[in-house]
Structure 1
């Protein structure tokens, strides 16, 4: 401001100009910066619309705000906060602070799909200037609160976002910021140096560890007892200093200036529309933006800025719980700094006797007497120079508050002992003295909470942490702890309230944080089955731990009897609230999720079948299951790989079993799926046998689908010739797949068991093939999926391997066998165990005399002729049936039809027991 040289800050300009000439060897850039800072302060102070600069979560700002609101009593409060969040502020009455006002969008239109979901949060704490302004405006009749900052949609319009690479070092920060998730944080008064060298210089010369400690020591404490004019000018000075020394990042500078243009444009629009006198208004913004130099600054500024229209994205709004740790992690503050600020705020209120503002009906608010009536407003503020006196004032060395420091020392020892430390009275004395010593070394007489924290770590923790909390964390808890907010029932979205109402029969305090146990005796109280349905949907939709079943499970076709749950809905309140942004009921959100998963461009047939199963399991919706089943059919027809074959087989079997036992007829979609799947896998089978990327599991699953669904597929019009041709065209080289092919040929009837046994004997007799024999065995084990009838042969093959393979081949194969059985234990192990139990002797005493069935030689048996005469003529009359039985029994010799040997005699002589049984059955008929 070139015309302000003779103004209120003339003396300060002269002093700064002389200092610049002395320290910088003449006027130059330093003088321009220093004088520019004074110009910024002078410009903001002289603005007719009073600007109130603040810093986020600053107790000094909150006290100054409470004091100024009572003095000025503005009729309009302009607040730097996203303008579309205004309707939510009245819901703060139903919450316990800290909470965050949130804008959330899942349906993204106009932004990159990779950004979804979009989320913006603005945390609000009790020890903040913005909360004092909100409480004053909402509870004072005739006062209007106007939010003037860019909308949540514009936050992302002006964002230049790239997909970041995963940072393992950020895991701790992500855990602490869990209440806010990956939302973008907006807050009033982001006041921190953006020039790294400047912050490093301030920390080094201030003898502090981090920025929060520097701010507490050199800004909070001096301004805590200052008058409003001094506070205002000092905050403007700091904001201008950090602004002028910020690095020239073009994008960030443009965003900062556009925000300032946006806010001044909105304020001028409101003043013009309402005719409000600017003297009756108060503009609350961060000190960084208060020292603005844009042309739109002030009520007489330029009106050339054009606000872009919002995108077509659908935004939802609500309140979510916040915490001190979440605020610190999201905004880069030191751990415990927000808790210390809350403690400092309480001390300032008690010391200054300034009545604070608090919303009527605030949930969890401390019981305070209703503030006295507002005094008569002060017409104007003093614009005289207060900076010169403040900057020339010597530092005030506060005396040690012995009672406070002694209380801290005693309390930290007590808390340390509760956490497993061997602390004593001597440690309390050492912490007390060390705190004073550290404060003296850092040029301050009164120890700060940060000095006390360092002293406690030095004297108590040493190098051992016996429990899960270190001393630094214990001090943070002692100073106020990680206070976690809560959104009240009335402020919850409809879905969250519906969940609480539907779970009311459980008689639990679901708003309470922590884990609660719910016991559901559904057999005795059938009405609790509805609660069970809600809990299973919550388990599917919410993060792990929100609803965790301890006893009970949900499977197709089964009804629950008793269940036990661990519930932590209060701890995961944010996740429940964000479900309310997606729909008005759990069923609607779950249906949307299932549709989104099924229609995702990368969804496989197995993924869609999983959605079908979940729709049937959780929603009991045949309509949705049919729609998603049709989608699974479309996806399966377009797949060119067999990676998902095991999942497809497992899920189709479950669904078929469910429909066959619960419905009179199979749904049309699953019949079409089986028919299409049969032809699809027949087509891919020859390629899968030779493809190196297709594993044994996938090929076995394909064969399992073809053989287990064969009866249904043939009844629907499929041709078995497709399978026969696919098997005939398969020529695998991998030993495991070769074994699978042999098993398929046996199942198909083109290879007899005798021939299969001969091939395995030949492999064991060939020294060149012997090292690969365990891989053949692995194939036979996988073959139990498509051909469970070969279980006895698999037991035989494994027994022969253990008997004949040398140890140097057998032992390396055992881990592979164990891994295979463990991975598919629910299907394979019972089959093998049952077959082994049938074959091997049940007692140890009979083991020496036991002969394996495949080695036992059958004794010659005299065929007993049937006196009834029904057996032999009947077998001769139906040679096709006799041929089929002969093939199954391993008899490949042709029929002999002579006068001395009637038809079927060869078969009867080979299998006398079977012949006798058949004759007895026929005789009974």
Structure 2
């Protein structure tokens, strides 16, 4: 029975062309492809018109979807070409790699052995009556390597062959030797198999090396599948499409005894797995994405495959011209000049470079250098603008609607079609007007996906859009989101149900009041009433027994923001306000006691919590809450045992709210900055009082005079320790504000202003221009003392 072994590079356009030619020349009765046998049930979908590459077969563990394996396929992948060839002609096609049900279980066993080396491994369950259980031999204990002896390195077959051919670039050698060769397909595969056999002989890794064991087990299973196929139809021709490394081990004439293979694959553990097709992207086919079997330039390889096709020979000029035309088109899209004449000149230069370097055809490096020299006038920057779009590509594949997917993914696909939100591998900017029904629905969907951990969209410029009817999103679809959807499917079968379920679980497990308050806002934004109820219940329960005042204070701002801006989306925030009121009251009652006897670090944290609560409550027009809050602030502002920074912030908030007049503030400042007060506490009070705003010192020279007098009276030895704190206090002011304050202080020193009992007389001459400007804005007529308008 003839068995044709086609060793390929998994994403090689030359390999794909060779496979197509070989299948046409020697049509098989069965096609076996390297891949998980779990894909046999869904391989028929590859023949449908709606299956547009790049796509990937996703095999995942049902109990833990994060344990997943992708099998990407591009239009220039030999596996894609072989499967489509077989399906279009009614030829059976199957996969012959080690089943994922065993691969996942073996990986779990290996992780357990590393984590708990002392635990014995239980014997594996039998595969079934046809496969009798044979006890597996324990792995031999590895001898400790000698000091200074490096472990054998992993063999790089392409790099080894490239070095033997005198190339310092493995990719360039593979492209010259394989991808752009035009000899007979059978000769190419024979040469690749012989070359790989020679490279395998140079592999010096021990037999118990993890990768060696894994490859041996996989190849044993592949031989088992081939033996079974031969036994099933002895007269049929079989085509095997596999990685070039495995090709020498799959030639039937060189098979080892069945007993040797059986010891490697009998009694393997199992895990429950499932398989599905998912869209893939060109970017994820590249080495840069971390894909081990990726290629450097997926976009270039696709272009190469399009021009090679099934033709025995293609003119180098046609290949170069087509690519450089695309480069010129992309440059024009970026508003850069790229004339037809310059394209012709660049083609000539690329061909000349290839000839000088002795290459069989123009390669990507020659085309890049020619484009940079001619189309970009020697500058790399213009080429970099378009390089990733061309060399890597931004293509996103698609799978048929009939392809098996988890219910959650099906619901998302339905909503994407309804809302006209088409996934794209390229980053999309999406501006939404929440007053429009369709755009509000888009926003709700994106927020629900965010809560689910499916990061399709990223909210941009959140600080500028809060409280408005606008939202800006940045959308990028990544293949890994398919795994996220599978994992999120445990929470529900629809996006709404799954998001609400995951939020409820998070609320149940969290004791962080700030996180719970933020979740409330997120649930309202995502229109999840069930989630809101669950989170508010958990928040009310935690807040009722919470004695940590900073935690209660941190909860106030997100809840207040939710109440203030929730009506933008038409949501009911009544219960949120109830929880907010209860939380704020508890915080106000406990605040005076919590602010006593704080060290510097605790005082800083308390100051941040007080600032947050102040920002939150200032958003609400609630007199009852405001009165309770200001009463608590008055208590800590007047108490001497409260840390200086916290007392200073409280005093400033009361001044801004009109609860303290300037005389009362001057008295508090005088007491806090008196000689009897410890200098570090006085400096901390001053920092808290002046934090972030210099208006007081610019316009109230009475307070400035008090501060100036305190700074002047500080002992020299103490002043050196206070200087960093004072510098930090004034560093937050702008340069113009610091300059104005300096001028005011110089006038105080010169006696230019009369300071009486902490107050300053108004300088009418200086104030006149400002008063005139305000009068004009108000539409008043300004009359001078002499009667002139």
- TM-score with structure 2 setting the length: 0.66
CA distance in 2, matches of 1:554, 1:488: 39
Which of the residues 71, 74, 92 maps onto 1:143?
Answer: 92
Corresponding residue for residue 308 of structure 1: 268
| Of 776, 783, 808, the match for 2:685 | 776
Equivalence for 2:444: 533
* Alpha-carbon spacing, 1:96–1:842, altered in 2? closer, same or farther (3 Å): farther
- Is 1:263 aligned with 2:219? no
Instruction: Verify: 1:97 aligned to 2:6, yes or no.
Output: no
Q: Deviations over 1:651-675 (max 9, x none)?
A: 2444677999957777987677567
Partner of 2:23: helix, strand, or coil? helix
Q: Distance in 2 between matches of 1:554 and 1:424?
A: 47
Q: Does 1:236 align with 2:147?
A: no
Contact 1:685–1:699 (8 Å) recurs in 2: no
The corresponding residue for 2:175 is 216
Helix, strand or coil: the match of 1:443? coil
Which sits farther off after the overlay, 418-427 or 447-456?
Answer: 418-427
Matched with 1:813 is 729
Structure 2: which 5+ residue stretches go unaligned?
Answer: 113-151, 713-722, 738-758, 771-789
Q: Trace 1:142-541 onto structure 2 (pairs within 5 A).
A: 143-151=92-100, 154-155=103-104, 157-158=106-107, 203=162, 206=165, 208=167, 210-222=169-181, 224-228=182-186, 230-248=187-205, 250-265=209-224, 275-277=232-234, 279-292=236-249, 302-304=261-263, 305-306=265-266, 308-311=268-271, 317-323=276-282, 326-329=285-288, 330-331=290-291, 337-352=297-312, 401=316, 431=346, 434-444=349-359, 446-458=361-373, 461=376, 464-467=379-382, 469=384, 476=390, 483-487=395-399, 489-491=401-403, 494-499=407-412, 501-502=414-415, 515=428, 522=435, 530-538=441-449
Kept in 1, the 8 Å contact 2:516–2:539? The answer is yes
Once the two structures are TM-superposed, the CA of residue 406 in structure 1 deviates from its matched residue by: 6.6
Task: Measure the CA separation in 2 of the matches of 1:105 and 1:693.
Answer: 50
Structure 2 residue 32 is matched with structure 1 residue 78? yes
Instruction: Report the Cα distance in structure 1 between the residues aligned to 2:612 and 2:157, rounded to whole angstroms.
Output: 67
Structure 2 distance, partners of 1:527, 1:431, is: 49
Question: RMSD across aligned C-alpha pairs, in angstroms?
Answer: 5.8
Counterpart in the other structure of 2:532: 625
The alpha-carbon deviation at position 84 of structure 1 amounts to 2.9
More moved, 205-214 vs 765-774: 765-774
Q: Structure 1 residue 457: deviation in Å?
A: 3.9
- What's the TM-score once normalised by structure 1's chain length? 0.58
Stretch deviating more after TM superposition (584-593 or 493-502): 493-502
Aligned residue for 1:127, secondary structure, equals coil
- 8 Å CA contact retained: 1:321, 1:484: yes
Q: 1:774 to 1:626 in 2, by over 3 A?
A: same
The 1:214–1:153 alpha-carbon spacing in structure 2 relative to 1, beyond 3 Å, is: same
Asked if structure 1 preserves the Cα contact closer than 8 Å seen for 2:98 and 2:217, the reply is no
Counterpart in 2 of 1:367?
Answer: none
Name the larger-Rg structure: 1
Q: What does 1:576-591 align with in structure 2 at a 5 Å threshold?
A: 578-579=484-485, 582-583=488-489, 584-591=493-500
**Counterparts in 2 of 1:450-849, with a 5 A limit?**
450-458=365-373, 461=376, 464-467=379-382, 469=384, 476=390, 483-487=395-399, 489-491=401-403, 494-499=407-412, 501-502=414-415, 515=428, 522=435, 530-538=441-449, 543=455, 568=475, 575=481, 578-579=484-485, 582-583=488-489, 584-595=493-504, 597-598=506-507, 604-621=512-529, 623-632=530-539, 644=551, 646-654=553-561, 662=572, 684-686=594-596, 688=598, 691-692=601-602, 694-698=604-608, 700=610, 731-732=641-642, 734-739=643-648, 757-763=666-672, 766=675, 775-780=684-689, 799-806=701-708, 813-816=729-732, 847=767
Q: Say yes or no: does 1:59 pair with 2:8.
A: no
* Runs of 5+ unmatched residues, structure 1: 1-46, 109-115, 163-192, 353-397, 785-791, 822-838, 851-925
Give a deviation string over 1:165-192, Cα, whole Å, max 9, x none: xxxxxxxxxxxxxxxxxxxxxxxxxxxx
Q: Residues 261-287 of structure 1, C-alpha deviation per residue, up to 9 Å, x if partnerless?
A: 333345556777xx4448444333212
